[in-house]
Structure 1
């Protein structure tokens, strides 16, 4: 038999969340002789929390058989359930389904109303939620909650309420859904939930908050997840995702240097051991930080790496292409991303990029269609963040349509909200649009004040590409204020006598896009011909 003192040391270390020590002691006891099924389950948990999921699942399998040999069907079913859930979450559907089936068979040998039956309601509910079959998801999570409350099983209650909250958010009942998530998080932060369910809750709640654009909650719970991870220095799962979430929060707050460092740490943590599914997601966030910093080459490489790992690089890569002047590629990419988004919450994240890219391509009609849909989503989702995103996009389209006075008011509301949310980059981008609106209205002093404010913020953030663009915009006279940066480039080239084909080649555009830009220019400036556009360019010192 195993040394009782070694087992006791392993149990104490386990209770204190010292996973490496718990693993060493319990593994030593396991090598020296047979240990009880409950200690095998502890060893499996410690193994998983040290990042060895496959090895941990094997140990859970041994614990399953040990429980069966001891006549404890419920204990066996619990081990089989967690082995199945871990395998399913790490991309092994057949093995995972096999262990869930073993769990059901073992549960059938135990009490008919046993607590494990509640856990076994979860896999089908999770599948239903992912398929957006909300009625079936509610049914499954409600059944799990009833069992959890009856047996006072806090892990099951937390997982069931997590699912119910996520489902309510998916149904558009954001206030009710986030209230359930807050209730779950209160129990987790109080230490009422065991480690693997707690990690699942943390990461799922932050993900749901981001999906419903509740970034205030996402920031708060990311900070709580950070504290939870720091209390367990040996912890491997959840830590990489925690770092990636922290990087995103830092980016929105304007702490870009720290955000990039945190993203690098997330990528490092998620790369070892290999096969962690969150790695592509973390690399995508790293690419986003590099893009706003103006590090285009490194950003493109990161987008490509995220794609290789199975994470869609859009809409970030499309925004990079638009800034590079490759607008046709950008338009194709965001339209493809929008199609892939379906009617889910991701659609609200893609539509702002559609607006930005189609405006860069000179297709105001397409931008108007996208912004109308975005505004409709913002109107039915209770999210201050999404309201600011929509107002900024609406203002940009109004400006492109020539409704500068309307744009000014809309953009002012967006800017005020961004400031309240403490999101400096988007606030500065909105100020650039406000400057263009004031310029179109003939108020050059107000335009310069807005552009100067944006320029200062971009300089503080290190947003090199945005800084270059706003400095060029600030140098222009009031007469060019009605044109976008791309349209000014087209006018300049027209004034040198270049054909549409030559302009397209120089700006890496299609001839169709150049023709659309020219049509917009003639309309905005009320010009009848290329010769008149040339005269305009000389008159306004664009050459």
Structure 2
């Protein structure tokens, strides 16, 4: 049966309504109208209308239809001799194919875009080529060429008087300046761009781009304050209803996805196409939010948001799902849920992220120190350009310091801490990280004075940033430093404060360790000839801890726990855990 023929007036009216919907960024409505029209084309869509259909299909989660419509738009522009229109369509095809993991097709369409646009007089469409040139030059380490391309983009954008292009060019130039170490200039340009974003001056796609780019830039640059502020703004922008009418409100439109069948899970790495009417940037922005919540110590919400992000992330942004899995793994590891953390890190790896330093710290908690050292060393060696991701480098170096100290490699820890110190400068998040590592090394080297100074400086930094877990970890180190100079009261205050934070966060192994150290401070001389470490092990045994629990709490291997228990039983003349527990209670060791 042939398709019914629509009256030309009806089709023209539908196309006009679709154009109006696109102007309002009611993409679900525009898609429904143009898609329906395109199924019964009594009058062919123009090249511009095909471009609108491609945009509407992308926003509505129909990625394949978006590419098909864009191909048709390119052909229509070319047939009409419109090389600017064809060049822009070709650039968008390059962008979409690259997002879909088809680099050969992406490279071909980028070449076509250059062919269409490079001989044209200066025009707005050339901004996109300049943006791509800046990114490619940066990837090849040619920072002079990257800066020249970004500034060419800025000149073209200013000539065009397009708020979208001007804001995007500011961000592009900011990214290049930041990679060159020109932090103050870079952040000033980024603030300028984000003013336009948060004021609602830009179109939807540029708003989404800039939120995603700026949040990535802030976290990599360790600018935690901006990351918090813009993550909150991004999630507000992404929240439903975010634009236009939902698809069920459009006559003749139907949603392709029903309600979710059950709660989200972090057990399998599955991203999906974004349902019609949803904001395709929401999953990516939510993944950034997970990183912020993790640092702020809002761990239950961070894990919940990670699950939701994995459901929302589009198929062309799987790196964001990987980041969500990794962040969830960090939460689970610090809460002592080591098996769950291992699964989350494995899923992050499946999606293309090296799960370090979290995996190295997991191996350390499992008593596999050799694997921890190898993992973090390999991750450090694989970082091609440390300046590109300052926070990532800092976290790797901090983990290298911690792992080295755990295996009594003080020179190795000192080397990592010194590199971290040189990297940190006066960036608050990096400075607190570096001072923590330097203080831990000074403590291991029995330099009590410098250790106390550095650790107090680190604690002040973490408290100002409102990062509770790291602050509590520093308190544990401060307690050890206080005890080395005989200030038992100060040590107990730090341990009590740390235990309170650990218990609130659900960081069970750390809370147990703080409690054991608090109990250990009750008496200077231990009964039965026990050493301080043996007393710690005995207290944890008396608290019902298994060998595995004790190994995790004290960051030692289960083999070492067994050796300590054998020594304890021999010294106390007991033959069971129950008898040892009785001894501990009788001698006020718990």
Whether TM exceeds 0.5 here: the answer is yes
- Cα RMSD, aligned residues only: 3.1
Partner of 1:73: 83
Q: 2:347 aligns with which of 305, 311, 320?
A: 305
Partner of 2:170: 161
Partner of 2:251: none
Partner of 2:438: 394
Partner of 1:420: 464
Pairing 1:209-220 to 2, within 5 Å after superposition = 209-220=218-229
CA contact (8 A) 1:148 1:157 kept: yes
Stretches (4+) displaced over 4 A: 272-275, 478-481, 489-493, 507-511, 540-543
Q: CA deviation at 1:328?
A: 1.0
User: Does the residue aligned with 1:113 lie in a helix, a strand or coil?
Assistant: coil
User: Does the residue aligned with 1:81 lie in a helix, a strand or coil?
Assistant: helix
Q: 1:63 aligns with which of 64, 73, 76?
A: 73
Cα distance in 2 between the residues matched to 1:269 and 1:24: 22
1:463 aligns with 2:507: yes
1:188 aligns with 2:197: yes
Cα distance in 1 between the residues matched to 2:319 and 2:59: 16
Q: CA deviation at 1:290?
A: 1.6
Pairing 1:251-262 to 2, within 5 Å after superposition = 251-262=294-305
Partner of 2:34: 26
Q: CA deviation at 1:237?
A: 2.6
Cα distance in 2 between the residues matched to 1:186 and 1:275: 25
Q: CA deviation at 1:195?
A: 2.4
Cα distance in 1 between the residues matched to 2:128 and 2:489: 65
Cα distance in 2 between the residues matched to 1:26 and 1:13: 10
Cα distance in 1 between the residues matched to 2:496 and 2:301: 25
Q: 1:434 aligns with which of 478, 485, 499?
A: 478
Pairing 1:91-130 to 2, within 5 Å after superposition = 91-108=101-118, 111-130=120-139
Partner of 2:412: 366
CA contact (8 A) 2:168 2:206 kept: yes
1:137 aligns with 2:181: no
Q: 1:351 aligns with which of 387, 392, 397?
A: 397
Cα distance in 2 between the residues matched to 1:32 and 1:79: 24
CA contact (8 A) 2:61 2:280 kept: yes
| Alpha-carbon distance change, 274 to 194 in structure 1, aligned in 2, over 3 angstroms | closer
CA contact (8 A) 1:480 1:488 kept: no
Range moving further from structure 2, 355-364 or 16-25: 16-25
Q: 2:365 aligns with which of 308, 317, 323?
A: 323
Cα distance in 2 between the residues matched to 1:335 and 1:480: 41
Range moving further from structure 2, 10-19 or 471-480: 471-480
Q: CA deviation at 1:40?
A: 1.3
CA contact (8 A) 2:405 2:441 kept: yes
| Alpha-carbon distance change, 155 to 487 in structure 1, aligned in 2, over 3 angstroms | farther
Pairing 1:46-61 to 2, within 5 Å after superposition = 46-61=56-71
Partner of 2:157: 148
Cα distance in 1 between the residues matched to 2:377 and 2:35: 53
Partner of 2:285: 242
Q: CA deviation at 1:316?
A: 0.5
Task: Tell me the matched-pair count.
Answer: 506
| Alpha-carbon distance change, 180 to 479 in structure 1, aligned in 2, over 3 angstroms | farther
Deviations 1:17-62 (A, max 9, x none): 3322221111112222212222211111122122333431221111
Q: 1:287 aligns with which of 329, 337, 341?
A: 329
Cα distance in 2 between the residues matched to 1:460 and 1:35: 60
Q: CA deviation at 1:490?
A: 12
- By percentage of residues, which structure has more helix? 1
Deviations 1:235-279 (A, max 9, x none): 343211111111221121121111111111001112x65773422
Cα distance in 1 between the residues matched to 2:344 and 2:127: 42
CA contact (8 A) 1:19 1:235 kept: no
CA contact (8 A) 1:328 1:510 kept: no
Partner of 1:522: none
Pairing 1:194-213 to 2, within 5 Å after superposition = 194-213=203-222
Partner of 1:378: 424
Partner of 1:41: 51
User: Does the residue aligned with 1:40 lie in a helix, a strand or coil?
Assistant: helix
Cα distance in 2 between the residues matched to 1:67 and 1:489: 79
| Alpha-carbon distance change, 172 to 541 in structure 1, aligned in 2, over 3 angstroms | farther
Deviations 1:133-174 (A, max 9, x none): 211110111111111111223333222221110111111111
User: Does the residue aligned with 1:121 lie in a helix, a strand or coil?
Assistant: helix
CA contact (8 A) 2:516 2:536 kept: no
Q: CA deviation at 1:192?
A: 3.0
Cα distance in 1 between the residues matched to 2:346 and 2:535: 31
Partner of 1:524: none
Q: CA deviation at 1:418?
A: 1.1
CA contact (8 A) 1:51 1:273 kept: no
Q: 1:340 aligns with which of 364, 382, 386?
A: 382
Cα distance in 2 between the residues matched to 1:173 and 1:35: 48
